[in-house]
Structure 1
């Protein structure tokens, strides 16, 4: 009895102990669960703070977008129909006689009708515009609004996007707002990626099951189980590692995003974040840039076939890369098109037309605009000098430049054509400016524009030869009463001490002519009279003149510098001649017009003004001499190439034929050309045989405007003795008429 009782008591005791242990275990588990929940709560709070801060603020470092100059159209402008069509093609406008949407144009016999895209210019937003441009032999005859059928005095195209400034390891993207995305594109994206996007809370268990079923029945991967919000969470906040922890984080972040932000905000972020392809070392993100990367046009202008391909690529940009794997990409595109048809996004005709279209993707190199590399070098250099905050620089600023893409192409064609028969070691640089406003419109920094690195237009400092001579003659002509175009200069042998060496300058033909006029010496680029004149003026005066004309560094001159034994870059030479060509009005040359933020607010506007450095009278006289150089002097080849056009210019050849230069201008454009070798060896070319033909071909490509100059008030045509160079009466023999400062008490006695 006692034994049985003891056993019963033991059982009760064990049961009680077991029950106690269970309760303790449960309590421990509850405590542990509470701790885990608490940790999860704090982790979610941490995630919420981190996610919300990034998502609500600047989500990405967005590259700066660099634009070329906007082509302006107005009656009377010297622009050909072919040039306008060339610009439209560069902007990726589609030729379509129906003109059904922006980004299209049509061509008739002497008209081009344009449906211009909307754009935020530096002076504000302009909606899409439909207008027609009529041409005659001189250029644009008139511009008509197509709908109102009213003439207008001004129209313009949106500027061409030429570059994204992407720093190393930075993603490239072009931000789009949700309202800029076509409805059919958004609907198809959600159809393919996340049908229940507007109904779930960031994570959808049903989507996983549905995707599994669709993939099994299709026999291949058609849909993914992650919601669009989860994909965004992974792309923005997580790595690509395949772990449960990453998936859990992805789900948590998706839930937080869905709770904190509305669906449209999430969808817009996804459209700008999604990875769409690889451009060499740079990752391309966002459908905005993806549209340009594959089709070279804005997202709003994609046709059904292109939109389906872009959406299909998002599943796996490497796997479905249409450039590397066209068959896969085509199958994927057709699958998306079929889904669009089944959901009645497309009717049967639209579907059948779309599936028949080829994969019309552009070449990868077409996005890079490699031919603008030299110009963009100059843009970058100027941008570094601007006081724009780093945060703004990374928020998608828009940089509007003075690049004229037609002038750039003309310069490149001129270099290629003229150098094709020369040794590949021969290099070139060209700087094109519109000198009245000191706008740099084109830069060629090497013979091969795709070549990166050394930019000879900006950084190659070479001896300029006779390019310096107009500076000397300008200083002489500025001394009223002492020198005129008729002043006699001595062309006889001279021996000097220059740079601690004996120096005996020679003319190019090794001849001496005795007394010559200042005009003859300038037009024919005579060395000896130039040296004598420079020494009369004094080297300090010449040095000061270089600075007045725009040289931004001081040079110590010696006598040989009077024949160009100083080293300047093509850009520095262009700056000197900008003032000479622009009637003595100086302005610093610039590639930049303005910089705005992503919303169009001005961050920088070019505001430096023209300043007078020389009187218009002495500049007029100098230009007269440079025009004579192009007519009868060392640049007379221009008169043969353009027989009815007035041009001005100056040849330059450095010692031992190492450098060939030409600088010249028409009514609007100033062009500086340099040819030489990087190792500074002789090239056997003078300024007239090397650089001048490049200049001439540029203007044949671009078109030329004859120089027109009003005679300044204090300048008049006067008679000068050809024997003495002094003023004489109009009826005297052996006299020549030349422009000169109007003098009182002109000598009227004829000289014999």
Structure 2
């Protein structure tokens, strides 16, 4: 009995123990479930808050300025007018610089055709400073080196004005900054968009940022291939990775990519996402700068706008987006060609192309522009000047990074001619000889060309802007102008003694000499200027007084104080070529001064004007005073130190002044025709002698430039205050015109100067 009782108790205890254990396990399970639920809730809340954080961050960036976009610098727009002096070859040169294609069919903008004395142009649409212009088809007829007529091609009606779009010459990219050129979705050809989506994301308009089916399909393809051959990322995910994430391959990065893609798809419409992708996608590397966006990619590989790409070019650009380095057509042309042909086949299979179009596109050879065409090294000196002016404008940093367009006065043809003139003339000298050239259209003080080195490669030192060298006889017109401005005291006939003189200059004894070491006795002011005589110039400068010469430099446009001493009267002062050019701008422009500038205007990316040059011309000397000085400078180019111009350009009127510093260290020439002022300097960076005068060194560069450009003879109407008057050859005093040994020269009309009798 007791045995049965014990067994019963044992069973009861076991049941109770099992129940306790079961209860404990239940309580433990509930605790674990509760804990897991709490963790899940915490994770969910974290995910929600993270999602909200991502949403705020992504939406703010995507809705605002997405990228730092470099400023775009443009050359001037070539204007075409009936009667304008421009040759057929010069217009073709400009079209080549703009990457226009010769095509007799003229099927689309960016093309031209040539027939004898006609060039027909299908100009691209462009947003000029004064507004947007659609594409235009017009014909230019030439006659005797000038434009004879311009005709609107479709209406066959003559028009009085046409222009080409300006050439894009540079993107101002900061170190480590990405380079891109923004395009709007409507600017992208439909076939390009369709091909991109075909290759990268066929279901782009149907998924919600992430495509699970695409991920599974890519996983299956990669498993069967035994390697990674296909990605499952949608175009939206690619955009998310490129804009917001790094390239590291981790699970966390992939999750972030998917979340961001979902947010983008929820917050923004498909067209906004596609446009962002087109502007963000990496397309290649330009030296140290990453190139982004298909807009710049089109120029990077083909040198033309996206809208002008052929079918095969579009296929190549779309194809290389998968791996711009791997499919780089410059480094790996065979890979690039295979990739292009694969894209073309996909286009044909999806009926984007007819069989004829497909076969023609596949047969096209692979062609991209040379990388050297992208550097614009020949414009580096000019761009230096542009950057300097932009810094002075103090534009807000955010504005500078918003894709502004900087329109300059750069004349591509004048720049090329200036570079060629330097290269041609300096090839006979050793490489240590350097050069600087500045070309200005002086009536409005527009700097149209800058050469800062004998080579086109940027040397880091722009001599045109920064090299301060002794100017020699370049200063003399300032002295003679101050004299001629003193009405009644000096005239072109006034006699100045050319005899020995001894002075103290810079605490040293100084005895100036003429170039030929000869003295001529009394010489006229005109002869002294035209023949660049040193001694008469020093005497004249001392008569006027150094303060007046200093004041003259300031009136002509010198913006810094220079301490003058007697030797400065022969150019023993240091100025840069740009400073010399500024002085002569006022001289060439008949006394009207304007600060020289490379900048015309700045607009935002939509064409709204942010800055426009508005400084006005101011009169510094009277037209009559300048007329007399011009007479002397024309004489210098006719019979004086620059008389070689008469042989180079017979029956053409030019004016100018040579300059040679002491010990032949610097060779200068500054001269002008009716429109252009050209300043030329030659010398060595170490300031050693070069053995060249202004006439033998700098002047031939000036001549070479105008042989290529063509000369517009100087035409100056005689002011009312000036008339031709008779002066004694011997004394320089006024004489009646019937006297013998007289010289007729322009002078201020003054009845008190008229004399009755002739000199004995």
1:503 Cα deviation from its structure 2 partner: 0.5
> 2:253 — aligned with what?
246
- Deviation for aligned residue 1:425: 0.2
Give the equivalent residue in structure 2 for 1:167. 174
Larger Rg: 2
* In structure 2, C-alpha distance between the alignment counterparts of 1:66 and 1:322, rounded to whole Å: 27
**Residues 727 and 748 of structure 1 are in contact (CA less than 8 Å); yes or no, is this contact kept in structure 2?**
no
- Trace 1:367-516 onto structure 2 (pairs within 5 A): 367-516=374-523
Q: Secondary structure at the match of 2:248?
A: coil
1:550 to 531, 549, 557: 557
CA deviation after TM superposition for structure 1 residue 220, in Å: 8.4
- CA shift in 2, pair 1:32/1:66, >3 Å: same
Partner deviation per Cα, 1:354-373 (whole Å, 9 max, x = no partner)? 11112211111211101111
Q: Would you say the 8 A contact 2:492–2:628 is kept in 1?
A: yes
Counterparts of 2:466 and 2:387 in 1: how far apart (Å)? Answer: 14
Give distance in 1, aligned partners of 2:275 and 2:226. 32
Is 2:502–2:509's contact at 8 Å kept on the other side of the alignment? yes
2:26 is aligned to 19
Deviates more, 1:388-397 or 1:600-609: 388-397
Query: What's the CA shift for 1:680?
Result: 0.2
Kept after mapping to 2: 8 A contact 1:718/1:739? yes
Of 734, 749, 752, 2:757 maps to 749
**What secondary structure is seen at the aligned counterpart in 2 of 1:159?**
coil
2:317 corresponds to 1:310 = yes
Residue in 1 that maps onto 2:65? 58
Report Cα offsets for 1:84-130 as digits up to 9, x if no partner: 01101100111111111111111111111111111111111111111
Cα shift at 1:217: 8.0
* 1:572 and 2:579 correspond: yes
User: Which of 4, 13, 24 in structure 2 is aligned with 1:6?
Assistant: 13
Rounded to whole Å, the distance in 2 between the matches of 1:652 and 1:691 is 9
| Partners of 2:88 and 2:145 within 8 A in 1 | no
- The equivalent position to 1:684 in structure 2, one of 691, 696, 707, is 691
Report what 1:700 is aligned to. Answer: 707
Q: 1:370 to 1:221 in 2, by over 3 A?
A: farther
Instruction: Check whether the contact 1:408–1:442 (CA below 8 A) recurs between aligned residues.
Output: yes
Cα distance between partner residues in 2 of 1:316 and 1:16: 62
Cα distance in structure 2, aligned partners of 1:702 and 1:381: 28
Q: For residues 222 and 410 of structure 2, what CA distance do their matches in structure 1 show? A: 51
Q: Which residue of 2 aligns with 1:633?
A: 640
Aligned residue for 2:450, secondary structure, equals strand
Given candidates 497, 521, 541, the residue that maps to 1:534 is 541
- Aligned mates of 1:738, 1:213 — CA distance in 2: 97
SS in 2 for 1:248: helix
Q: Where in structure 2 are the equivalents of 1:514-663 lying within 5 Å?
A: 514-663=521-670
What is the CA deviation profile of residues 231-285 of structure 1, one whole-angstrom value per residue up to 9, with x for unaligned ones? 0000000011110010010000000010110000000000000000000100000
Quick check: 1:715–1:742 contact (8 Å CA) kept in 2? yes
Q: Secondary structure at the match of 2:751?
A: coil
Match of 1:151 in 2: 158
- 1:128 matched to 2:135? The reply is yes
1:551-583 deviation digits (Å, cap 9, x = unpaired) = 000111000000000000000000000000000
- Shift in Å at residue 454 of structure 1? 0.7
Alignment of 1:86-105 (within 5 A): 86-105=93-112
Residues 632-657 of structure 1: CA distance to partner in whole angstroms, max 9, x if unpaired? 00000000000021000000000000
Aligned CA distance change for structure 1 residues 704 and 215 (closer, same or farther; 3 Å): farther
Helix, strand or coil for the counterpart of 1:120? strand
- Decide whether the 8 Å contact of 1:476 with 1:537 is kept in 2: yes
Unaligned segments of structure 2, at least 5 residues: 1-7
> Aligned match of 1:207 in 211, 214, 220?
214
**2:75 touches 2:408 (CA, 8 Å); kept in 1?**
yes
List per-residue Cα deviations over 1:637-685 (Å, max 9, x = no partner). 0000000210000000000000000000000000000000000000000
- Asked if the contact 1:202/1:254 (under 8 Å) is kept, the reply is yes
Residue pair 1:464, 1:653 contacting (<8 A) in 2 also: yes
C-alpha contact 1:438 1:589 (8 A) present in aligned 2: yes
Deviation per CA, 1:205-241: give whole Å up to 9, x if none.
Answer: 1112334556678998764210000000000000111
Query: Which secondary structure does the structure 2 equivalent of 1:720 belong to?
Result: strand
Spell out the pairing of 1:193-204 with structure 2 (5 A cutoff).
Answer: 193-204=200-211
* 2:75 aligned partner: 68
- The residue matched to 2:731 in structure 1 has which SS? coil
Shift of 1:4: 1.2
- Contact 1:71-1:158 at 8 Å conserved across structures: yes
Q: Alpha carbon RMSD of aligned pairs, Å?
A: 1.2
Query: Contact 1:373–1:452 at 8 Å: present in 2 too?
Result: no
Cα distance, 1:83–1:240 mapped onto 2, change above 3 Å: same
Aligned to 1:429, the other structure's residue is in SS state strand
Which residue of the partner structure matches residue 716 of structure 1?
723
Distance 1:28 1:345 in 2: 58
Q: Are 2:45 and 1:38 aligned? A: yes
CA contact (8 A) 1:430 1:457 kept: yes
Secondary structure at the aligned position of 1:728 is classed as coil
Deviation by residue 1:516-552 (Cα, 9 ceiling, x = unmatched): 1110000000000000000000000000000000000
Give the 3 Å change call, closer, same or farther, for CA 740–217 of structure 1 in structure 2: farther
Normalising by structure 2, report the TM-score. 0.98
Q: 1:317 to 1:489 in 2, by over 3 A?
A: same
- Residue of 304, 321, 335 corresponding to 1:328: 335
Q: How many residues align?
A: 752
Alignment of 1:334-349 (within 5 A): 334-349=341-356
Q: CA shift at 1:36, angstroms?
A: 0.3
Measured against aligned partners, the alpha-carbon deviations of 1:426-483 in whole angstroms (never above 9, x if no partner) come to: 0000000000000000000011121331100000000000000000000000000111
Report the 3-state secondary structure (helix = DSSP H, G, I; strand = E; otherwise coil) of the residue aligned with 1:133: strand
Contact (CA 8 Å) 1:192, 1:223: kept in 2 or not?
no
In the alignment, what sits opposite 1:293? 300
Change (3 A) 1:219 1:486: farther
Q: Is the 8 A contact 2:131 2:607 kept in 1?
A: yes
Q: Would the aligned equivalents of 1:630 and 1:647 in 2 still touch at CA under 8 Å?
A: yes
Which ranges of structure 1 fall in alignment gaps of 5 or more residues? Answer: none
* From 670, 674, 698, the counterpart of 1:667: 674
The answer as to whether partners of 2:137 and 2:153 remain within 8 angstroms in 1 is yes
From the superposition, tell whether residues 644 and 216 of structure 1 become closer, same or farther in structure 2 (CA, over 3 Å): farther
**Is the CA contact (8 Å cut-off) linking 1:388 and 1:603 kept in structure 2?**
no
Q: Deviations over 1:178-200 (max 9, x none)?
A: 00000000000000000000000
2:442–2:677 contact (8 Å) kept in structure 1 = yes
- Matched residue SS, 1:440: strand
TM-score with structure 1 length normalisation? Answer: 0.99
Which residue of 228, 234, 243 corresponds with 2:235?
A: 228
In the alignment, structure 1 residue 267 sits paired with structure 2 residue 269: no
Q: 1:99, 1:105 within 8 Å by CA — same for their partners in 2?
A: yes
Matches of 1:666 and 1:360, distance apart in 2: 43
For 2:377 and 2:480, locate their aligned partners in 1 and report how far apart those are by CA, in whole Å. Answer: 41
Moved over 6 A (4+): 215-222
